[in-house]
Amino acid sequence: MKEHVYGTIGLSEKDFAEGRVVFETWEPNARYAWDTGVAIGHYLKELQAGRLVGRYCTTCGRTMIPPRMFCEQCFVPTDSWVTLQDTGTVTTFSLCNVTWNMERVEKPLMPAVIAIDGASPGMGILHLLGEVEPDQVKIGMRVRAVWKPAAERVGAITDIAYFKPL
Amino acid sequence: MGRNRVAIVGAGMTRFVRRAQETARELAWEAASKALESCEMTLDDIDAVVIGTAPEAFDGVHMNSEYLSDGCGGWGKPVIRGYVGGGTGVFAPIQGWYHVASGLFDTVLVVCEEKMSSCQPHPQGAFLTIFDNITERPLEPNLLWIFALEMNAYMTRYGLDKRDIAQVSVKNKRNAADHPAALLGDANITVEDVLNSEVLAWPVQRLDVSPVTDGAVALVMSAEHVARRVTPKPVWVEGVGWCLDTAYWTDRDLSYPTYVEEAARMAYKMAGITEPRKQIHIAEPYDPFDYKELHHLEGLMLFDKGKAPEATALGITQRNGDLPVCPSGGLLGVGNPIAAAGMMKVAELFWQLRGEAGARQVPGQPKRGVAQAWGDLMQVGTVIVLGA
Mean pLDDT value across chain A: 96
CA triple B340-B278-B388, angle to 5 deg: 50
Q: What is the CATH number of the domain that holds B321?
A: 3.40.47.10
B196 occurs within a structural domain: no
Q: What pLDDT score was predicted for residue A158?
A: 98
Partners of residue A3 in chain B, C-beta under 8 Å: 38
Neighbours of B224 (CB within 10 A): 15
pLDDT at B1 over 60: no
Range B203-209 average pLDDT? 97
- ipTM rounded to 2 decimals: 0.94
B49 occurs within a structural domain: yes
| Rounded distance between C-alpha atoms, residue B207 and residue A147, angstroms | 38
pLDDT higher at A158 or B129: A158
Range B286-308 average pLDDT? 98
B359 occurs within a structural domain: yes
Place B124 in a pLDDT band, splitting at 50, 70 and 90. Answer: confident
Partners of residue A19 in chain B, C-beta under 8 Å: none
Determine the distance in angstroms separating the CA of A58 from the nearest CA of chain B, rounded to an integer.
18
Closest by CA to B24, choosing from B88, B119, B115, B112, is: B115
- Could you tell me whether strands A53-56 and A80-83 are parallel, antiparallel, or unpaired per DSSP bridges? antiparallel
Q: What pLDDT score was predicted for residue B2?
A: 76
Range A39-49 average pLDDT? 98
Q: What pLDDT score was predicted for residue B128?
A: 85
The H-or-E segment that residue B294 falls in is helix B290-299
Boundaries of domain holding A21: 2-165
The H-or-E segment that residue B385 falls in is strand B380-387
> What's the pTM?
0.97
Max alpha carbon distance in chain B (Å)? 58
B160 occurs within a structural domain: no
pLDDT higher at B56 or B223: B223
pLDDT at A137 over 60: yes
B115 occurs within a structural domain: yes
B257 occurs within a structural domain: yes
pLDDT, tens digit, 9 for 90 and up, residues A48-78: 999 999 999 999 999 999 999 999 999 999 9
Report how many domains make up chain A.
Answer: 1
| B59-63 LR contacts (CB < 8 Å, sep 24+) | B59/B24, B59/B115, B59/B118, B59/B119, B60/A26, B60/A28, B60/B118, B60/B119, B61/B24
Please tell me which residue of chain B has the smallest CA distance to A2.
Answer: B180
B155 occurs within a structural domain: no
Boundaries of domain holding B27: 6-120+211-387
Determine the distance in angstroms separating the CA of A3 from the nearest CA of chain B, rounded to an integer.
8
Determine the distance in angstroms separating the CA of B74 from the nearest CA of chain A, rounded to an integer.
20
pLDDT, tens digit, 9 for 90 and up, residues B66-115: 999 999 999 999 999 999 999 999 999 999 999 999 999 999 999 999 99
Range A110-129 average pLDDT? 98
Report how many domains make up chain B.
Answer: 1
